[in-house]
Amino acid sequence: EDKVVQSPLSLVVHEGDTVTLNCSYEVTNFRSLLWYKQEKKAPTFLFMLTSSGIEKKSGRLSSILDKKELFSILNITATQTGDSAIYLCAVSLNTGNQFYFGTGTSLTVIP
Amino acid sequence: NAGVTQTPKFQVLKTGQSMTLQCAQDMNHEYMSWYRQDPGMGLRLIHYSVGAGITDQGEVPNGYNVSRSTTEDFPLRLLSAAPSQTSVYFCASSSTVGSPLHFGNGTRLTVT
């Protein structure tokens, strides 16, 4: 059975802290791994990773994929209250354009 | 550019009632899909479509029907609502196979 597991389930940090969110997966026909940020409404796209060891970076956020160990991490440095959200990891399969999502990590950044 | 538009934003149904959740996208995306989001369960795929006239089942299709008569629209029908269908429903689209999904703002459905 295809599955995507995220950890931790929730996290509370202070502004300025650095956080690491984890995503592991067991799927057949892996195509790519994606990270999304969900605030009050629709998830918004952050990164798509297809190759191992190549870091993707956007401002204070970065992510990397390990296809041998089947996991990815999302790092957020110098956290701000605006980073408070649920972070979703999804895996895309080669068959039928299906995406499997993890349950998400709820991040709360307190001033 | 509106992106993915879902209506209604909120809906309350009684058990056994039927309704249609509307989804429209103006990005000319071939791929569209419906997800439900429940606490502790993440986003689960209900149905998806890779183009007009083509639909297929996802992880949790029971109790839901879809059709795709145009590229723009992908409605989700609940034929006989059950309390287990209380959830937040998201429609999503992508331009090509494997490209990132663009989500609508969701419909919060409560079945009593």
Counting residues of chain A whose pLDDT is more than 70, the rounded percentage is 98
Asked if A98's CB is within 8 angstroms of B58's CB, the reply is yes
Taking the CA atoms of A86, B36, B9 and B50 in sequence, report the sign of the dihedral they define.
positive
**From the CA of B80, how many Å to the nearest CA of chain A?**
26
Residue B63 backbone phi and psi in degrees, to 5: 95, 0
CA A47/CA A61 separation, integer angstroms: 9
Spatial contact of A104 and A6, defined as CB atoms under 8 Å apart: yes
**From the CA of A20, how many Å to the nearest CA of chain B?**
19
Mean local confidence (pLDDT), B39-68? 93
Spatial contact of B79 and B18, defined as CB atoms under 8 Å apart: yes
- Is the CB of A24 inside 8 Å of chain B's CB atoms? no
Spatial contact of A65 and A57, defined as CB atoms under 8 Å apart: no
**From the CA of B40, how many Å to the nearest CA of chain A?**
6
Residue type, A99: F
- Is the CB of A2 inside 8 Å of chain B's CB atoms? no
CB atoms within 10 A of CB A60: 13
pLDDT for B39 equals 86
**From the CA of A42, how many Å to the nearest CA of chain B?**
5
Residue A98: band (very low, low, confident or very high) from pLDDT cuts 50, 70, 90:
confident
According to DSSP, the residues that pair with A10 across neighbouring strands are A106
Mean local confidence (pLDDT), B37-49? 91
Which candidate in B30, B37, B44, B74 is best for mutational testing of the A interface (most A CBs within 10 A)?
A: B37
Residues of A in contact with B33 (CB under 8 A): 99
- HSE of B63 in the Cβ direction (CA atoms, 13 Å)? 15
Q: Which helix (H) or strand (E) holds B18?
A: none
Which candidate in A31, A35, A41, A91 is best for mutational testing of the B interface (most B CBs within 10 A)?
A: A41
Nearest CA in chain A to B42: A103
Q: What is the pLDDT of residues B83-112, one digit of tens each?
A: 999 999 999 999 987 889 999 999 999 999
Residue B67: band (very low, low, confident or very high) from pLDDT cuts 50, 70, 90:
very high
For A20-35, b/e burial (b = at least 16 CB within 10 A) is ebebbbebeebbbbbb
The residues, ordered by sequence, that sit 6+ positions from B39 with a Cβ below 8 Å of its Cβ are: none
Mean local confidence (pLDDT), A80-101? 90
